[in-house]
Amino acid sequence: MPANRFNAFTDYGIGIGLRVPHYAHILEKKPVVDWFEIISENFMVDGGRPLHVLDRILEQYRVVQHGVSMYFGSAEKPDRTHLKKLKQLVKRTKTPWLSDHLCWGSVDGTFTHDLLPMPYTFAAARRTAEKIRYVRDCLDVPICVENVSSYAEFHASEMTEWEFLSEVVERADCGILLDVNNIYVSSKNHDFDPYDYVNGVPVDRVGQIHVAGHTKFEKYILDTHDHPVLDPVWKLYAHAIRRCGVTATLLEWDDKIPSFDEVHDEALKANAFIGGARAARKPAQAARA
Amino acid sequence: MRPAGLKPPPKHAPRRLHSEADLRTLQRLMMHAIVQPLTADDDLAPRWRDGRPMAEVASEFIKPNDRLTSFERLQIYARGYWYRVIDCAYDDCPGLRALLGEEKFSALIRAYLAKYPSRSFTLRNLCARLPQFIREAPRWTAPHTALAHAVARFEWAQTVAFDGEARPVLTPDDIADVPPAKLRLALQPYLSLLALDWPVDDYVLAVKKRDALRGEASHAVDHGLRAASRRTASRPRRRRVFIVVHRYNLQLYYKRVDAVAFKILTALAAGRPLAQAVAAAGRGVKPAPVRDWFATWMELGWFCRWK
């Protein structure tokens, strides 16, 4: 499960998001980091500084692409220009797998730049899975879809979110980027047990895990990525790791970004949970040998 | 007003989703609800396009819970959308913001995005049509519409120069054997030629300097610095300038050029052969400065092969 066909049989460890305020530190100090996750769209440009920085990062580090605008759940077809640019980037980064969200965000070629929730229906699952297959075939790289945090549910829904996620990934035969912070946020906003969610997804398809911070408001929780990870999310992460085994894990910190070291230290807290899973794996491997 | 590019919203949300068409209908309805302008208090508009209460429309497709109504849940997404795109425009247009002031700039951007929501997968292109909108709807920038238009063009040119395509640079050897009457030189795609009636390059630089100082002052206790940071960059005086917005060694630059040089560059960009482009600049053009200009432009890597 740690290394599976959805993450190209890698065992990447703990990564952090590559963000502009840290560029200078990374390029000058060359800190030891297992891997960086990049937002694909930030580098789907035709030239200039972004690609120059990326190339320098690629000389030193392993990079995985994470997208925010493929909108697998949008009813419209994938945009060819978008796919072409994404494919160029995939060739550049040699990302072992590529992730994007189980959501929609565009209609008639107009974009919200948001991760809007899906209606959890069989028709939507079929359409979404078709699109994931199409994109994967175009890009020729394993795909993991990420569960989003949400603030609304639809009357039309026919199943729970984790049943929908399972339906989509089974139909698409793709991986899961399990965002445990998003599960926690949605569980509070929609009153379900986050452990039911983690127990309900096909763990053999989990190729990567996200952790992040969120913000509590009076009537709902917002996925803000501007805090350290909160304790209930680490607990849920621990549970996910127990189920999934050692899994490539990434801390997302996108707003009010502190120093590189602070972000990296926060990410490395995941070692406390991964270490246990790794130790548990060794006797099993020894027994098999 | 219907946002450009979006088809009309359905009258009602589908009760069940059996097909791709049903999914599209639901998504189009929600998209229209999200991108319609917020009220002055940043709330979701209380009425839908057909006059029905928005709460009634939202409750057709969004479930309430014991803390939030359907309307309130939809409003979270509408606010998230508007705050995100407005933030992006704030970052991309510091000069225009300084020129118009916060309130007027915010009104302009909201009106612009209500008409021209994003048509690109990347927020990088969000303000591409802002200069066009300023021309189309002058009331948002009056009485400084022409100046606002110039600043918006200049700021969009910076976005292009930052990460636009760079094609292989032509070297003197590449063109040595081509006679000037046949030689076509393309300009790099990241480069913009701007003939403007105000020195907006100086103005935007002053604004950025002021903002940088303001950033420093926020950590300082020096009253002189704080006072300086409150001063606004004064509006530029009308003066014709010719600016090339480009990049060199990955850095953004604004280069002022002579009117004659600008004519030559414009003619080259339009596909005129070198000899014609120089001739288009007028009879009084002397060879020596033209040679110097071309030497500099070649060194800056402005020319690439004509496609």
Quote ipTM for the complex.
0.94
Torsion angle (degrees, nearest 10) of CA A12, A185, B118, A226? -70
Q: pLDDT tens digits for B118-164?
A: 999 999 999 999 999 999 999 999 999 999 999 999 999 999 999 99
> What does the pLDDT look like over B168-183, one tens digit per residue?
999 989 998 999 999 9
Q: Residue B223: pLDDT above 50?
A: no
φ and ψ at residue A144, rounded to 5 degrees: -115, 130
CB distance B257 to B243 below 8 Å: yes
Residues B61, B70: Cα–Cα separation, whole Å: 8
Could you give the angle at the alpha carbon of B139 between the alpha carbons of B131 and B243, nearest 5°? 30
Q: What is the pLDDT of residues A162-193, one digit of tens each?
A: 999 999 999 999 999 999 999 999 999 999 99
From the list B6, B13, B14, which residue is nearest A107 (CB)? B6
Q: In this predicted structure, what is the pLDDT of residue A206?
A: 97
Strands A175-179 and A206-212: parallel
Asked if A82 lies within 8 A of B121 by C-beta distance, the reply is yes
Which residues in chain B are contacts of A76 at CB distance < 8 A?
24
Q: Is the model's pLDDT at B238 over the cut of 90?
A: yes
Interface contact B164-A49, CB threshold 8 A: no
A221 φ, ψ to 5°?
Answer: -115, 140
Give one word for B28, left, alpha or beta, with left for phi > 0 and alpha for psi -120 to 50: alpha
Beta carbons of A151 and B62 less than 8 Å apart? no
Question: What is the rounded average pLDDT for all residues in chain A?
Answer: 95
For an interface test with A, the pick among B2, B17, B70, B123 (most A C-beta atoms closer than 10 Å) comes out as B17
Q: Would an 8 Å CB–CB cutoff place A191 in contact with chain B?
A: yes
Nearest residue of A to residue B14, measured between CA atoms: A156
Which of A46, A108, A113 has its CB closest to that of B28? A108
Q: How far apart are CA A248 and CA A15, in angstroms?
A: 8
Mark which residues 76-135 of A lie under 8 Å from B by CB: 76, 79, 82, 104, 106-114, 116, 119, 121, 123-124, 127
pLDDT tens for residues A73-83?
A: 999 999 999 99
Residue B228, pLDDT above cutoff 70? no
Cα–Cα distance measured from residue A249 to residue A211, given in angstroms and rounded to the nearest whole number: 7
Residue A222 has pLDDT above 90, yes or no: yes
Q: Quick one: pLDDT at residue B227?
A: 40
Domain boundaries, chain B: 20-163, 165-198+240-307
- Looking at chain A, the whole-number percentage of residues with pLDDT higher than 70 is 97
Of the candidates B304, B306, B292, B297, the residue with the CA atom closest to the CA atom of residue B265: B297
List of E strands, chain B: 185-187, 192-196, 241-248, 251-256, 303-305
B224 falls in which pLDDT band (50, 70, 90)? very low
A-B contacts (CB, under 8 Å): 147
- Per-window interface: A 204-233 vs B, CB < 8 A: 219-220, 222
For A73, name the nearest residue in chain B, comparing CA atoms only: B23
Domains of chain A and CATH, by start: 14-288 (3.20.20.150)
Give the pLDDT score at A283. Answer: 65
Name the residue among B19, B121, B190 with its Cβ closest to that of A111: B121
Contact A151 B76 (CB under 8 A): yes
List the single residue in B19, B73, B118 with the smallest CB-CB distance to A123. B19
Closest CA to B259 of B289, B227, B222: B289
From the list A52, A123, A220, the residue facing B76 with the nearest CB is: A220
* pLDDT at position B42 over 90: yes
